[in-house]
Structure 1
Amino acid sequence: MAPERGERVAIVGAGLAGCLLAVLLGRRGIEVTVYERRPDPRIAGAERGRSINLAISARGLAALEQVGLRDRSLKQALPMHGRMVHPLGKEQNFQPYSADGERAINSISRAQLNESLLDTAEATPGVTLRFAQRVTGVDVQAGALLMEDGGTEHADVVLAGDGAYSAVRRSLGLNEDADFLEHGYKELTVPPRGGDFALDPDALHIWPRGTSMMIALPNLDRSFTCTLFWPKSDLAALDTPEKITAYFAEHYPDVAGLIPDLVDDYERNPVGSLVTVRCRPWTRRGDGAIVALLGDAAHAIVPFFGQGANCAFEDCIEIDRCLTETGGDWARALALYEERRKPNTDAIAEMALDNFIEMRDRVSSPVYRAKQAATHALERRLAGRYVSRYELVSFSTMPYARIPARIRRQNLALAGAASAVLAGLAVLLRLALRQRR
């Protein structure tokens, strides 16, 4: 489908990815209408208990730079230079993210970032935002968005960023797999204490408890947003105020007293689900329209590498790049977008699942801490040649799919060098023994 005068482009979902993509398309001179099922969050406010602070890192910042929002976003964020681990019954310990201790991921409110993107989209010529407009599906033959009220809206190109439970994706009958963890999540709040942060604001705090964990990210108002990642059966078991307070006193004793609204937050905030969505194809073409999925609608991942938003932003940048490379031919551009992005999103999905195990279990182990110290020492000694997985994911824009192979090559080279050193030592030892004889 080549670009035509009067072609109608629709984006479903005014979340982070939908807004960023709208700005990128608007700046290309493309008229785009964004449909959002919720009322305008700048007026109605964010949904209670479902904010989950974002950890914006190199990929997300590179994308925000493209629309002039990098500096504004960093002013709304707090840098976190490492993890503060809170083992049960032991002293907390700080684990820097980078070998030099200088690099940080950035804690930012999802709602604040979404508002910034909405403001930018609204100010972009050619972009129209339509709130409280629920899209229930797409008819690709008729070129129509199907609306909840029974009506339709014409669209030649539909870009669906309507989340992990995408109505557009379901309507297309694509081959999809949704893998739910047995864990759910629930948010709590640690308010400021004496007008200051109750915990160290330079860290992402983790309370690893084997099969479950709690994390806390700092906010500009000096509060912390805590998120419990527990088996849903455990979340449901705390069904009285007494059980809630007793459990936290036993399992999170160093923070329980810092949450004055613990019972209220726990009882009122909803339990969210954690899902990995794998889908193929991401595009569907009919006589009337071409449809493509992006962000969580195409590849929802669990949040344990802090890459959900960063990854979705990369989707938007890739669509924009592919439009440039194909001269604005939507069909070719979207096919190229899927070809390039699918291997990368599959890779980060697996790394995010692995990082869940690391965060809830491994980080409190002395063996893990020794391994991390050794890794950082190698990074300092072999700067640029040996780089940890965390650095490549969070502090570079290397395609996710290339990272596992890079790590394997590094480890093989390191093993080879170690073997050569040991072989050399063995030769020297044999020579020394002969001389002694």
Structure 2
Amino acid sequence: VESYPNAKVHFGHKLSKCHPEEGVVTVIGPDQVPRDVTYDLIVGCDGAYSTVRAHLMKKPRFDYSQQYIPHGNAFMMIALPNMDKSFTCTLFMPFEEFENLPTNYDVLNFFQKNFPDAIPLMGEQALLRDFFLLPAQPMISVKCSPFHLKSHCVLMGDAAHAIVPFFGQGMNAGFEDCLVFDELMDKFNNDLNDHAISDLSMYNYIEMRAHVNSKWFLFQRLLNRFLHAIMPSTFIPLYTMVAFTRIRYHEAVLRWHWQKKVINKGLFILGSLIAIGSAYLLVHHLSPRPLELWRRPAWTGTTDYWRST
């Protein structure tokens, strides 16, 4: 950024107050002295607990909601691969459960009971060191609208739409903001896409926690992959649309619902045809002898008797 002649970076400064209408922000530098700075436009990229957004929330007709993920009634641990072939493990669990693990003994007992296969891979010493290295952190989902205040101020990234990490799209959504801002300066209010990725991230958490244990869900995922393999431009898995294409988030949701509807109708028609075909084969191959006996006249046996005599 500093390579551009019109850009100057100030490290070690914190935004204290924001007054977009007056064109003034108050920042606190390393010397802890507040200073007022004037500007033409402020781009609020100050995270999920945004000071800029906190000021916009005081304005009328500004919609805002935040949700802390409750972690449900269960917990899970995931491991994501790093470039050096190691893994970063994350334990998602209610805060009350973390409070029940104050000692090394409690932690080891918890992992031996719930994740026994992870201990040999991590090592007891590394597990205990890393577990107490950082306190448990809350996960927050934020939605707001609009993302701007006239021509004075605009929000981007987590300041506009903080999301839970279960789709791995938090930073990418922020970069997408920059791209959309550059392409559609006059139509920046892109709340449909940002709300969509927020909802998708929450859905993916539920999917990772519960749906992966469903055989029907695994069958649907396998069917999606098969359809994508034979029709790559028509059927695209949801994660592929979100992570590896330029399809807008809300368009990906609409397309995902359409694909699910098509698949469900196809399975229903296929199941109906199988049921009808099975019924036809059953009737067609039914033994004809009982029917012939039913249609045979009662005197046939008598005639046969006299003939035999």
Alignment TM-score, normalising by the size of structure 2: 0.80
Partner SS state of residue 414, structure 1: helix
> Match of 1:169, as an amino acid?
R
Are 2:204 and 1:355 equivalent residues in the alignment? yes
> Match of 1:151, as an amino acid?
R
Taking a change above 3 Å as real, the CA distance of residues 139 and 414 of structure 1, as seen in their structure-2 partners, is same
Q: Which deviations, in whole Å up to 9, do the C-alpha atoms of 1:395-417 show, x marking residues without a partner?
A: 21211101222122223333444
Structure-1 separation of matches of 2:174 and 2:251: 18
> In structure 1, what is the equivalent of residue 138 of structure 2?
273
> In structure 2, what is the equivalent of residue 220 of structure 1?
83
> In structure 2, what is the equivalent of residue 153 of structure 1?
37
Partner SS state of residue 138, structure 2: strand
Could you tell me how far 1:211 is from its partner in structure 2? 1.5
Structure-2 separation of matches of 1:424 and 1:150: 75
Higher RCO, Cα 8 Å, sep 6+? 1
Are 2:130 and 1:130 equivalent residues in the alignment? no
Structure-2 separation of matches of 1:423 and 1:301: 42
Partner SS state of residue 410, structure 1: helix
Q: Which deviations, in whole Å up to 9, do the C-alpha atoms of 1:77-127 show, x marking residues without a partner?
A: xxxxxxxxxxxxxxxxxxxxxxxxxxxxxxxxxxxxxxxxxxxx2333422
Give yes or no for contact 1:159–1:291 (8 Å, CA) kept in 2.
Answer: yes
Structure-1 separation of matches of 2:245 and 2:220: 22
Q: Which deviations, in whole Å up to 9, do the C-alpha atoms of 1:149-185 show, x marking residues without a partner?
A: 33211111000000000011112224321111124xx
Q: Which deviations, in whole Å up to 9, do the C-alpha atoms of 1:162-211 show, x marking residues without a partner?
A: 0000011112224321111124xxxxxxxxxxxxxxxxxxxxxxxxx972
> In structure 2, what is the equivalent of residue 241 of structure 1?
104
Give yes or no for contact 1:345–1:400 (8 Å, CA) kept in 2.
Answer: yes
Structure-2 separation of matches of 1:251 and 1:435: 55
Match of residue 315, structure 1, among 158, 174, 177: 177
Give yes or no for contact 1:217–1:226 (8 Å, CA) kept in 2.
Answer: yes
Q: Which deviations, in whole Å up to 9, do the C-alpha atoms of 1:286-310 show, x marking residues without a partner?
A: xxx6001010000101000111011
Taking a change above 3 Å as real, the CA distance of residues 122 and 225 of structure 1, as seen in their structure-2 partners, is farther
Are 2:49 and 1:162 equivalent residues in the alignment? no
Are 2:114 and 1:251 equivalent residues in the alignment? yes
Unpaired segments ≥5 residues, structure 2: 289-309
> Match of 1:307, as an amino acid?
Q
Give yes or no for contact 1:136–1:171 (8 Å, CA) kept in 2.
Answer: no
Are 2:211 and 1:346 equivalent residues in the alignment? no
Are 2:117 and 1:229 equivalent residues in the alignment? no
Structure-2 separation of matches of 1:216 and 1:412: 33
Greater fraction of residues in strand: 1
Are 2:182 and 1:294 equivalent residues in the alignment? no
> Match of 1:345, as an amino acid?
D
> In structure 2, what is the equivalent of residue 303 of structure 1?
165
Give yes or no for contact 1:211–1:361 (8 Å, CA) kept in 2.
Answer: no
Taking a change above 3 Å as real, the CA distance of residues 427 and 228 of structure 1, as seen in their structure-2 partners, is closer
Structure-2 separation of matches of 1:427 and 1:247: 53
Taking a change above 3 Å as real, the CA distance of residues 389 and 222 of structure 1, as seen in their structure-2 partners, is closer
> Match of 1:360, as an amino acid?
R
Match of residue 179, structure 1, among 64, 67, 70: 67
Taking a change above 3 Å as real, the CA distance of residues 137 and 411 of structure 1, as seen in their structure-2 partners, is same
Structure-1 separation of matches of 2:107 and 2:268: 54
Taking a change above 3 Å as real, the CA distance of residues 247 and 151 of structure 1, as seen in their structure-2 partners, is same
Structure-2 separation of matches of 1:168 and 1:429: 66
> In structure 2, what is the equivalent of residue 112 of structure 1?
none
Match of residue 246, structure 2, among 393, 397, 400: 397
> In structure 2, what is the equivalent of residue 10 of structure 1?
none
> In structure 2, what is the equivalent of residue 139 of structure 1?
19
Farther-moved stretch of structure 1 (366-375 vs 168-177): 366-375
Unpaired segments ≥5 residues, structure 1: 1-120, 184-208, 324-332
> In structure 1, what is the equivalent of residue 303 of structure 2?
none
Give yes or no for contact 1:210–1:361 (8 Å, CA) kept in 2.
Answer: no
> Match of 1:180, as an amino acid?
Y
> In structure 2, what is the equivalent of residue 283 of structure 1?
148
Greater fraction of residues in helix: 2
Taking a change above 3 Å as real, the CA distance of residues 374 and 427 of structure 1, as seen in their structure-2 partners, is closer
Q: CA RMSD in A?
A: 2.5
Structure-2 separation of matches of 1:246 and 1:238: 9
Structure-1 separation of matches of 2:51 and 2:275: 65
Matched positions, count = 276
Taking a change above 3 Å as real, the CA distance of residues 430 and 231 of structure 1, as seen in their structure-2 partners, is closer
> Match of 1:411, as an amino acid?
K
Taking a change above 3 Å as real, the CA distance of residues 227 and 414 of structure 1, as seen in their structure-2 partners, is closer
Taking a change above 3 Å as real, the CA distance of residues 262 and 414 of structure 1, as seen in their structure-2 partners, is closer
Structure-2 separation of matches of 1:262 and 1:421: 51
Partner SS state of residue 184, structure 2: helix
Identity between Structure 1 and Structure 2 (%): 29
> Match of 1:278, as an amino acid?
K
Taking a change above 3 Å as real, the CA distance of residues 416 and 240 of structure 1, as seen in their structure-2 partners, is closer
Alignment TM-score, normalising by the size of structure 1: 0.58
Taking a change above 3 Å as real, the CA distance of residues 382 and 240 of structure 1, as seen in their structure-2 partners, is same
Are 2:231 and 1:382 equivalent residues in the alignment? yes
